[in-house]
């Protein structure tokens, strides 16, 4: 019995997140209300608060859902990819496309989003850990391939994540396409932390 209830709760939460995303993209985060999200999700407003404690928590839920989508797409795309730099290119390019598709959600500056995510970290940890594991494995492979100097793998993973995010944020603010973002991030990484030529 508990399994059915859990499944129903997850489905309802997914519906709330999808409808919130649709409203946030259409009307903007500030202009959308929890009541509108409840109506669009076909649930009572009290039901929303059983899943999320605020509109900001709903936004974090939407971002978490999008990041899980990203990591599923990345993992599918890199399955047959031997070159770790190609995996980094794919990761950054797909993340750039996801951000572009959800532009109004990411147009807040990264600091504001980081504070928001930090305040609701337990609901965002799953995708963040998955992304960190992917980047850590990538850093290990880049060191093994001799493309990065031996060093702190977790630091390299954080650098790759920060480079990708910074490059994407810069392109987002300048409305530039993301098709070359993966290559640019690889070049910046290798110039800053790669093996000497």
pLDDT attached to residue 112: 58
Q: What pLDDT does 144 receive?
A: 94
Residue in 34, 31, 22 with CA at minimum distance from that of residue 58:
34
Output the six-digit token pair for 1. 């019995």
- pLDDT at position 129: 83
Cα(8)–Cα(16) distance, integer angstroms: 12
Are 163 and 149 in contact by the 8 Å Cβ rule? The answer is no
| CATH number of this structure's domain 54-193, picked from the four choices 1.10.10.970, 1.10.8.50, 1.10.357.10, 3.20.20.80 | 1.10.357.10
Q: What is the pLDDT of residue 182?
A: 72
Residue ranges per domain, the chain? 1-52, 54-193
> Which string of DSSP letters, residue by residue, matches 131-169?
HHHHHHHHHHHHHHTTSB-S--HHHHHHHHHHHHHHHHH
CA distance 159 to 121: 21
What pLDDT tens digit does each residue of the chain (197 aa) get? Answer: 578 888 888 899 999 999 999 999 998 888 999 999 999 999 999 999 999 988 988 988 888 888 888 899 999 999 989 999 999 989 988 888 888 888 777 765 445 565 566 655 555 567 778 889 999 999 999 999 998 889 899 999 998 888 888 888 777 777 666 556 677 788 877 777 555 44
Whole-structure pTM value = 0.79
Burial 74-94 (b: 16+ CB within 10 A, else e): beeebeeeeebbebbbbbbbb
The pLDDT value given to residue 153? 93
pLDDT at 197: 45
CA distances from 173 to 29, 36, 87, 104, 190 (A): 18, 29, 25, 11, 25
Helical ranges in 28-83 per DSSP H: 34-41, 45-51, 55-77
Query: Phi, psi (5° rounding) for residue 194?
Result: -75, 180
As a whole number of angstroms, the distance between CA 89 and CA 9 comes to 37
Q: Which CATH architecture has domain 1-52?
A: Orthogonal Bundle (1.10)
pLDDT for 47: 94
């Amino acid at each position: 019995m508990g399994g059915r209830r859990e499944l129903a709760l997850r489905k309802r939460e997914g519906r709330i997140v999808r409808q919130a995303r649709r409203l946030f993209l259409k009307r903007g985060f500030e202009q959308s209300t929890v009541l509108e999200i409840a109506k669009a999700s076909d649930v009572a407003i009290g039901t929303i608060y059983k899943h999320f404690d605020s509109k900001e928590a709903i936004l974090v839920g939407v971002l978490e859902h999008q990041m899980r989508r990203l990591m599923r797409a990345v993992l599918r795309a890199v399955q047959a990819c031997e070159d770790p730099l190609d995996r980094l290119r794919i990761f950054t390019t797909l993340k750039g496309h996801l951000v572009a598709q959800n532009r109004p959600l990411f147009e807040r500056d990264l600091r504001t989003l980081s504070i928001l995510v930090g305040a609701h970290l337990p609901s965002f940890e799953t995708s963040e850990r998955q992304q960190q594991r992917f980047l850590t494995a990538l850093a290990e492979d880049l060191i093994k391939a001799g493309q990065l100097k031996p060093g702190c793998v977790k630091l390299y993973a954080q650098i790759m994540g920060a480079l990708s995010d910074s490059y994407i944020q810069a392109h987002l603010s300048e409305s530039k396409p993301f098709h070359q973002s993966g290559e640019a991030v690889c070049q910046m990484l290798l110039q800053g932390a790669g093996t000497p030529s």
